Amino acid sequence: MKILAINGSHRVGQNTDILIDIALDAARQAGAETEVIELAECNIEFCAGCNRCLFKPECSIKDDDMRVIKEKMLAADGILIASPNYFSNVTARMKNFFDRTRPLHMTSNQLKGKVAGFLTMGGLDNTGSETTNAIMENFCATHEMLIVHARPEGPVLGSGVTGSLLDCVEDGIPHWRRSVKDDPIAPLIAAQLGKDMVELIKRLS
């Protein structure tokens, strides 16, 4: 069993990666193998809009990293999509990646039935992270993946994994957390996401 995470952040090793690591650590503890693809370290050309994939499940672009990423996605049992919140949206890297998965979708949904999860990271609360998660959810739904919405035991803590660095505001002055690890909610839901993805994969196998 393998879960593949795809990080759309421009900054490797920062807070989006921290949330990914928390989710994947929980997945490993539940019995999964894991791998992370950093889009910031990949060469992915823009979709050319040639429409070749309307007729056969292949891309006209052959000499970038998307071929390897596609193979890893097809081999994975679960796919975790992660992006920082940029203006209530995913990053440009992630959107470009979304576009390049078109050959996996147009003639047949090759990702259909794979377990999917998603998470986002923002600097502030209430600035579009839920919208960013909704965009990633729509991507997964378009590919007919089976989406996991994690909720730890006990009272509802939030809607999806939406990390934030804002700690509080006192006298109009914002105070910041040093890391998303200090967010009281996002790491808990991220860990639950990893566990729940593994649980669903096991149920389906």
pLDDT digits (tens, 9 = 90+) for 89-132: 999 999 999 999 999 999 989 999 999 999 999 988 888 999 99
Count of H-run helices and E-run strands, the chain: 5, 8
Would you say the C-alpha torsion 178, 179, 181, 187 has a positive or negative sign? Answer: positive
Q: Reply yes or no on whether the pLDDT at 1 is more than 80.
A: yes
What one-character DSSP code corresponds to residue 110? T
CA distance 14 to 17: 5
Q: Tell me the domains of the chain and their CATH numbers.
A: 2-204 (3.40.50.360)
CB 160 within 8 A of CB 82: no
Q: Given its phi and psi angles, is residue 113 left (phi above 0), alpha (psi -120 to 50 degrees) or beta?
A: left
3-state secondary structure (DSSP) of residue 21: helix
- Alpha carbon separation from 55 to 62, 98, 116, 144 (Å, rounded): 17, 19, 27, 20
- Residues of the chain with pLDDT > 70, as a percent, come to 100
Residue found under tokens 């909720």 = 151
Residue 5 φ then ψ, to 5° = -100, 140
CB 163 within 8 A of CB 15: yes
- Identify which has the larger pLDDT, 180 or 160: 180
Question: What pTM was estimated for this model as a whole?
Answer: 0.95
Q: Given its phi and psi angles, is residue 108 left (phi above 0), alpha (psi -120 to 50 degrees) or beta?
A: beta
Strand partners, 84: 121
Give the pLDDT band (50/70/90) at residue 33.
very high
CA distance 179 to 163: 10
State the pLDDT at residue 156. 83
